[in-house]
Amino acid sequence: MRMPLHRKVLIYLAILLVLIFFLGPIYWFWALSLRSPTSAFASPPEFFFEPTLNAFIYTFVNPGVNRPQLVSSLIVASGATLLNLPFSVTAAYALSRFRMRAKQFLMMWYISLLMAPPIVFLIPYFILMSSLKLRGTYPSMIIIAQTITIPFSIWLLKSFFDEVPIDIEEAAQVDGASWHQALTRITLPLALPGIIVTSMFAFVFTWNNVIFPLVLSNQSTATLPVGTLNYFATTGATWNFIAATAVVTMLPPMIIFLVLGRYIVRGLTFGAVKG
Amino acid sequence: MAGRLSSRRNLPYLLVLPSILGLLALIIYPIGFSLVNSFRQWNLQTSPVPLGFVGFLNYQMVFQTTPFLDSLRNTLILSVAGTFIEFWFGMGIALLLATQLKGTNAVRALLIMPTTIAPIVAGFLFRYMYYEKGGLLTWLLTQVGFPVPPQGLLGSSTTALASIALADIWQWTPFFAIVLYAGLLSIPEDIKEAAIVDGATGLRMFAWITLPSISRTAIIVVMIRFMQLFNMFDLVLVLTRGGPGTASRTLSYNLYQEGLVNYNIGVAAAMTWLIVIIVTILINVYARVAFRGWEW
Amino acid sequence: MKEHRKAISRREFLKVAGLGIAAAGVCSVAQPALTQTALAAGVRPRAKAQTKEIRVLVVGDPFQFALEKVLDDFTSQTGIKVNLESLAYDALNARLVTSFVSQTPDADVVTVDAMWTGQYFDNRWIISLNDYIKADSDVNLKDFIPEVLYSLNLWRGNFVSLPIAAYGQGVMYRTDVFEKAGLEPPPTDPDKATGWTWDKYMEIVKQLQGMEMDDTKLYGTVIVGAQPVPIVHMYTQLAASRGVRWFKQFPEAPWDFEPTINSPENVESLKFYKALYDLSPAESINYVWFDAGTRFSQGDIGIFFWWTPYFYLVKNDGYMSGTPSKIIDKFAVALLPKLKDDAPQVISNGGWSLGIPSSSAKQDEGWQFIKWACSAETQKKMGLVKDYNYQFSDFARVSLYQDAELKAIYPYLDTQLKLLQQGNGKIVRPPMPIYSTLEAIYGLQINKVLSGAATAEDSLKETDMLFRNALTGNFMLPYKLESYDDTLENARKLIDSLAA
């Protein structure tokens, strides 16, 4: 069925408008990070300007105020992702492979944790981590992030395990392999792409999280989003620095999502929609 | 895919146990803490340690000293309106993409970018564009004759909440678009053809065939998004801090203010429980609908 | 804007490495400094701590910049090294509360906001300085402005901190604008201030509204409207000056926190504030502290009143930007107006003080630091720091207001002293234990009046009810605990007895 040309043109036009609406703001913020401070609030807005790397140099090179925060973000996000795997891989495997009476209840319990407002956990954690003398440390942030990463990964990983044909595993067991041999030699390698995809999502979620580090970090362990907020919370917002820091904060998730491509739908719906 | 490897009865439970214990360890403290302290007088402004039990006084104080009901109202408006607009806007884009014209895949990859951004960063992005003088959005709206309030879009009680919603709509409409697009693609061709044979076109086709076919996907994403909107905090923190007055204060922000700005632990604990009760009801209603007849 | 980069310490690095979290990916992007620190730590044995070191936590307010510049003096005088860390207002309070709740020693000297004094001392988080002051006559306690010590540092018969930056509130106006409009400059001496009333102030604001000056259309004034805290800082000054009081009896004993906030005076004041807002840029409803100062420095505001640090901050075109503002030579400061000529004036004294946490193991060294930082010598040096166009004149000592060298740089010092001497911080923003809660309520309610969501009458009625609920719920109403007569008179007596 061929589409008439005028209709095609209309659709392309609509798509173009949609793209401008959704990408324009990102472009505008990137532009801000390359502007001189005087051009930031020019009225009417300056669409053409002389770009400068000053904001990036100040924030990440010299004096590099936000460079330690980049490191903190990487530590917290990688740490949370790695810590979550032993918990979520085993649980997701069990939930995918075995008949369990409590399965539905468990799955519902996990997802309800994902849906719960993080802020309700925050005040007790603030007191708890303070009295354990852990507030301000990386472990405190990494551990607390598990309230999100573990349930999320279980849901998403289960959907990947579900797709590994059970017959292969059973065949191996018939050949005398024990269940854990079957798991480590056959299922895990087959599910590895799924584990990687899940890890990448868990990384992005922790990377983008601001509410836990906001309360649990201190000056030397603050993550990038918190650093961005600092420019704002003190005396007078320096928008170029906010933008430079924010652009660096945006990049890893964007790259990861470009790489993930066809898994995006599944990841964002916790595996509930296959995509 | 229900497994057939049930030779060891306890094995699956052993495998899920670490995650259950881990999560329980993480949530038991906050739950117990909130429960106990919601009945105790504990304000870090007056005492470093909890004082005596005070019955339901803290629960009473939630309503008597904090704008809890205003916050609840704002939260509900934001969640319902936000989800509704994002769903239909996303559906429109999904239908555009579903024409499968050349370049759709590239568009899809670019379109998701707003969703990848940290909400706090999205907040900054809009705060910059909302700026009263020289902000791009304010300027554009003024150009097209929109009556931008003189105190700025974020400073006026009539537009503050809507401005937060717009930032969220910008960030999450692509999520709906991409997921619904995936749903549209999965509708079998023969069903569509059969419908066409039956004379269904345009709107009817959409209402009778398309929508029912993707209803399950739709319900799940609506549930996820509604709850995320219900928990809205980051955007409020960056854009308005709940102001002006209480015009854009959400439940999460109200709790943050009471617990981590005023350090009124007892009242914050009581508020926590009120929110937990509301959220539990919502999740249960939703999950029952969304996962009805789900194959576990 | 300045951030203090803190390289990740070796201990933290090892802690992380020990957890197996420092994955290869992390190391490859870690900054060279981190690797170097780790390497150095591995090769060299840790240097033995010969010199003593104290940790000082300060808030990122203007005084911090000047303090940093003169910090080496302290080390060379005492041999004690100082590890100075500055934090934003919210972050500082969170950090202090954490350290106090966990009873973890964090810093040896901390900056205490005037408003936190009651809370910190009642919770035994900071110690009384009475004994230190008594033992050290060279503190020269009598040099301090009594109204400042009373407002900022006195709690339950103790001086629990000493002021490092004392603020009052006064008027700033454009001299060129006044000249063009043919207006008399507002008075700078209370003895010659007849007729300088809030009604007169309003008259001037109205006259300046819409005036053209150097191709700029002026706003009569600018206010601070952001809820909850910033608006309270500005509004309470206006209200106190117009006779509004928060409670039936405080700080005189016996304390009675029966709210008196819903009074005819306050209704009038709030309407007055709303009227000022109507003559301000509309967006000032979102303005926090520095926004109002920045706006004035950008040249389209005729007159406004605000914290005294803005007397020097507005010399720059942005907060601590170092770039001279357009109006650097075109503004002057003046007294705050009064309700009537025969009415008493009440200035909002506030600012930052230094205190010693009870958890610190180096309290003696901490005291040495406080004594040094609050001394006339150090404070003068801070005032003489040239950077950013001279950015420190928040002196708490009378002698510095008479210093010719400082007066040459900060010509408004006479006026500022007069303002501080009219101060009564305990009345303007009573530092009673649940002040933060009440401030949050109050700020929200008065902000609603500016936004038009409530009338002055309704909002104050609501405030009164919310105050009562919060006070009753926190067992402050009726107040049954011990009261202290923390009056100005008693502050003077305490000064005399400690200085004797």
């399965």: which residue's tokens? A103
Residue in C5, C98, C289 closest to A68 by CB: C5
| Tens-digit pLDDT profile for residues C442-473 | 999 999 999 888 999 999 999 999 999 999 98
Burial of C300 (0-12, 13-18, 19+ CB in 10 A): middle
Q: Tell me the mean pLDDT in the region B170-178.
A: 96
Q: Which of C191, C172, C223, C454 is nearest to C336 (CA)?
A: C172
Give pLDDT, residue A233.
Answer: 56
Residue type, B248: S
How far is the C-alpha of B52 from the C-alpha of B39, rounded, in Å?
9
Cβ of C102 within 8 Å of Cβ of A130? The answer is yes
Give B258's pLDDT tier (boundaries 50, 70, 90): very high
Q: Tell me the mean pLDDT in the region A187-199.
A: 92
- In angstroms, the separation between the Cα of residue A178 and the nearest Cα of chain C is 30
- In angstroms, the separation between the Cα of residue B125 and the nearest Cα of chain A is 6
Chain B residue nearest residue C463, CA to CA: B65
Give A224's pLDDT tier (boundaries 50, 70, 90): very high
* DSSP designation for A224: H
Give C493's pLDDT tier (boundaries 50, 70, 90): very high
Per DSSP, what are the bridge partners of residue C81? Answer: C53
Identify whether residues A138 and A264 lie together within a single domain: yes
- In a mutational test of the C interface, the residue from B43, B57, B238 whose CB has the highest number of chain C CBs within 10 Å is B43
Contacts of B57 in chain C (CB under 8 A): 473
Q: Which of C108, C90, C106, C109 is nearest to C162 (CA)?
A: C109
What are the CA-CA distances from residue A66 to residues C16, C27, C364 (Å)?
Answer: 19, 17, 36
pLDDT of residue A275 exceeding 70, the answer is: no
Cβ of A138 within 8 Å of Cβ of C21? The answer is yes
Q: Does residue A275 lie in a domain region?
A: no
Neighbours of B8 (CB within 10 A): 11
Q: Tell me the mean pLDDT in the region A126-147.
A: 90
Give C88's pLDDT tier (boundaries 50, 70, 90): confident
How far is the C-alpha of B201 from the C-alpha of B207, rounded, in Å?
10
- In a mutational test of the C interface, the residue from A70, A235, A245 whose CB has the highest number of chain C CBs within 10 Å is A235
Q: Return the SS3 of B242.
A: coil
Residue type, C3: E
Identify whether residues A180 and A264 lie together within a single domain: yes
Number of compact structural domains in chain A? 2
What are the CA-CA distances from residue B7 to residues A180, B3, B10, B12, C395 (Å)?
Answer: 13, 10, 9, 10, 81
Q: Tell me the mean pLDDT in the region C200-223.
A: 95
Phi-psi domain of C335 (left: phi exceeds 0; alpha: psi -120 through 50; beta: other)? beta
Q: Tell me the mean pLDDT in the region C333-354.
A: 96
Comparing C351 with A64, the larger pLDDT belongs to C351
Instruction: Provide φ and ψ at C142, rounded to 5°.
Output: -70, -15
Identify whether residues A35 and A12 lie together within a single domain: yes
How far is the C-alpha of C274 from the C-alpha of B176, rounded, in Å?
44
Q: Tell me the mean pLDDT in the region A43-49.
A: 82
Query: Are the CB atoms for B101 and B128 separated by under 8 Å?
Result: no
Identify whether residues A220 and A178 lie together within a single domain: yes
């052993």: which residue's tokens? B14
| Tens-digit pLDDT profile for residues A230-250 | 777 545 567 888 899 999 999
- In angstroms, the separation between the Cα of residue A259 and the nearest Cα of chain B is 10
Q: Which of C136, C140, C138, C167 is nearest to C151 (CA)?
A: C167
Identify whether residues A48 and A82 lie together within a single domain: no
Identify whether residues A122 and A12 lie together within a single domain: no
Q: Which of B58, B29, B59, B64 is nearest to B41 (CA)?
A: B58
Cβ of C440 within 8 Å of Cβ of B150? The answer is no
Chain A residue nearest residue C293, CA to CA: A236
What are the CA-CA distances from residue B286 to residues B110, B180, B221, B273, C48 (Å)?
Answer: 31, 19, 11, 20, 63
Q: Does residue A250 lie in a domain region?
A: yes
Contacts of B155 in chain C (CB under 8 A): 282-283, 285-286, 451
Give pLDDT, residue A236.
Answer: 59
How far is the C-alpha of C321 from the C-alpha of A236, rounded, in Å?
10
A159-168, A211-220, C41-50, C311-320: the lowest-pLDDT one: C41-50
Q: C119 touching B, CB under 8 A?
A: yes
Cβ of B12 within 8 Å of Cβ of A151? The answer is no
Neighbours of A188 (CB within 10 A): 16
Chain A residue nearest residue B143, CA to CA: A44
pLDDT of residue B1 exceeding 70, the answer is: no
How far is the C-alpha of B31 from the C-alpha of C163, rounded, in Å?
42
Q: C126 touching B, CB under 8 A?
A: no
How far is the C-alpha of A92 from the C-alpha of B15, rounded, in Å?
9
How far is the C-alpha of A25 from the C-alpha of B75, rounded, in Å?
25
Number of Cβ pairs < 8 A linking chain A and chain C: 101
Tokens representing residue C407 in the block: 């007066």
Q: Which of B84, B96, B83, B289 is nearest to B178 (CA)?
A: B96
Chain B residue nearest residue C116, CA to CA: B45
CATH code of the domain occupying C169-210+289-342: 3.40.190.10
Residue in C285, C440, C452 closest to B257 by CB: C440
Residue in B34, B116, B294 closest to A124 by CB: B34
pLDDT of residue A227 exceeding 70, the answer is: yes
Identify whether residues A150 and A258 lie together within a single domain: yes
For CA atoms B78, B81, B86, B87, the dihedral sign is positive
Residue in B43, B61, B243 closest to C447 by CB: B243
Q: Return the SS3 of C114.
A: helix
Q: Tell me the mean pLDDT in the region A33-59.
A: 85
Pairing of the two strands C109-113 and C53-59: parallel
Sketch out chain B's domains with CATH numbers.
42-290 (1.10.3720.10)
Chain A residue nearest residue C87, CA to CA: A219
Q: Does residue A73 lie in a domain region?
A: yes
List b or e across B187-204, with b for residues whose CB sees 16 or more CB atoms inside 10 angstroms: beeeeeeebeeeebeeee
Angle between helices A119-131 and A138-163 (to 10 degrees): 130
- Fold topology of C53-166+349-423: D-Maltodextrin-Binding Protein; domain 2 (3.40.190)
Q: A79 touching C, CB under 8 A?
A: yes
pLDDT of residue B215 exceeding 80, the answer is: yes
Give B286's pLDDT tier (boundaries 50, 70, 90): confident
3-state helix, strand, coil in chain C (%, to 5): 50, 15, 35
* DSSP designation for C218: P
| Tens-digit pLDDT profile for residues B32-70 | 999 999 999 998 888 888 888 999 999 999 999 999 999
How far is the C-alpha of C447 from the C-alpha of A148, rounded, in Å?
37
Helix (H) or strand (E) holding C84: strand C81-87
- In a mutational test of the B interface, the residue from A265, A266, A270, A274 whose CB has the highest number of chain B CBs within 10 Å is A265
Query: Are the CB atoms for C239 and C430 separated by under 8 Å?
Result: no
Q: A14 touching B, CB under 8 A?
A: yes
Q: Does residue A172 lie in a domain region?
A: yes
Identify whether residues A30 and A93 lie together within a single domain: no
Residue A9, domain extent: 5-58
Residue type, B55: G
How far is the C-alpha of B286 from the C-alpha of B279, rounded, in Å?
10
* Subunits in contact with chain A (3 or more CB pairs closer than 8 Å): B, C
- In angstroms, the separation between the Cα of residue B243 and the nearest Cα of chain C is 7
């065939």: which residue's tokens? B209
How far is the C-alpha of A55 from the C-alpha of C316, rounded, in Å?
21
How far is the C-alpha of C19 from the C-alpha of A269, rounded, in Å?
31
Identify whether residues A169 and A72 lie together within a single domain: yes
Q: Which of C326, C293, C299 is nearest to C223 (CA)?
A: C293
Give C106's pLDDT tier (boundaries 50, 70, 90): confident
Cβ of A123 within 8 Å of Cβ of B29? The answer is no
Query: Are the CB atoms for B205 and A54 separated by under 8 Å?
Result: no
Rg (CA), chain A: 23
Identify whether residues A166 and A77 lie together within a single domain: yes
- In angstroms, the separation between the Cα of residue A114 and the nearest Cα of chain C is 24
Identify whether residues A27 and A72 lie together within a single domain: no
Q: Does residue A273 lie in a domain region?
A: no
Mean predicted lDDT score pLDDT of chain C: 87
Comparing B173 with B212, the larger pLDDT belongs to B173
Q: Does residue A274 lie in a domain region?
A: no
* pLDDT cut 90: percent of chain A above it: 50
Of A33, A58, A83, the last residue of a domain is A58
Instruction: Provide φ and ψ at C256, rounded to 5°.
Output: -140, 110
Q: Tell me the mean pLDDT in the region C143-166.
A: 96
Q: Tell me the mean pLDDT in the region A133-143.
A: 91
Q: Show the DSSP H helices in chain B as ranges.
A: 11-37, 57-65, 68-97, 104-111, 113-116, 119-130, 136-143, 160-185, 189-197, 202-205, 211-213, 215-230, 234-239, 251-256, 265-290
* Domain spans, chain C: 1-36, 53-166+349-423, 169-210+289-342, 224-279+428-481
């959704």: which residue's tokens? A22
Q: Which of C51, C99, C58 is nearest to C75 (CA)?
A: C51
Tokens representing residue B178 in the block: 């991409």
How far is the C-alpha of A136 from the C-alpha of A213, rounded, in Å?
9
Residue type, B246: T
Query: Are the CB atoms for C136 and C374 separated by under 8 Å?
Result: no
CATH code of the domain occupying C224-279+428-481: 3.40.190.10
Contacts of C69 (CB under 8 A, 6+ apart): C382, C385, C387
ipTM: 0.91
């950077």: which residue's tokens? C387
Chain centroid to CA C105: 25
* DSSP designation for C148: H
Q: Return the SS3 of C303.
A: strand
Q: Does residue A179 lie in a domain region?
A: yes
Intrachain domains C53-166+349-423 and C169-210+289-342 with the same fold = yes
Identify whether residues A145 and A35 lie together within a single domain: no
- In angstroms, the separation between the Cα of residue A135 and the nearest Cα of chain C is 8
Give pLDDT, residue A1.
Answer: 54
* pLDDT cut 70: percent of chain C above it: 90
How far is the C-alpha of C426 from the C-alpha of C441, rounded, in Å?
19
pLDDT of residue C29 exceeding 50, the answer is: no
- In angstroms, the separation between the Cα of residue C3 and the nearest Cα of chain A is 6
Residue in A98, A111, A162 closest to B11 by CB: A98
Give pLDDT, residue A235.
Answer: 53
Give A153's pLDDT tier (boundaries 50, 70, 90): very high
Cβ of B48 within 8 Å of Cβ of C437? The answer is no
Residue in C97, C283, C448 closest to B263 by CB: C97
Q: Does residue A154 lie in a domain region?
A: yes
Rg (CA), chain B: 24
* DSSP designation for C357: B
Residue in B30, B99, B217 closest to A121 by CB: B30
3-state helix, strand, coil in chain B (%, to 5): 70, 0, 30
Give pLDDT, residue C443.
Answer: 94
A63: preceding bond cis by omega (within 30 degrees): yes
Q: Which of C32, C18, C83 is nearest to C56 (CA)?
A: C83
* DSSP designation for B5: -
Contacts of C367 (CB under 8 A, 6+ apart): C129, C132, C136, C356
Secondary structure of A155-215 in the HEC alphabet?
Answer: HHHHHHHHHCCHHHHHHHHHCCCCHHHHHHHHHHHHHHHHHHHHHHHHHHHHHHCCHHHHH
Give B4's pLDDT tier (boundaries 50, 70, 90): very low
Tokens representing residue C330 in the block: 């075109």
Tokens representing residue C198 in the block: 């809030």
Q: B266 touching A, CB under 8 A?
A: no
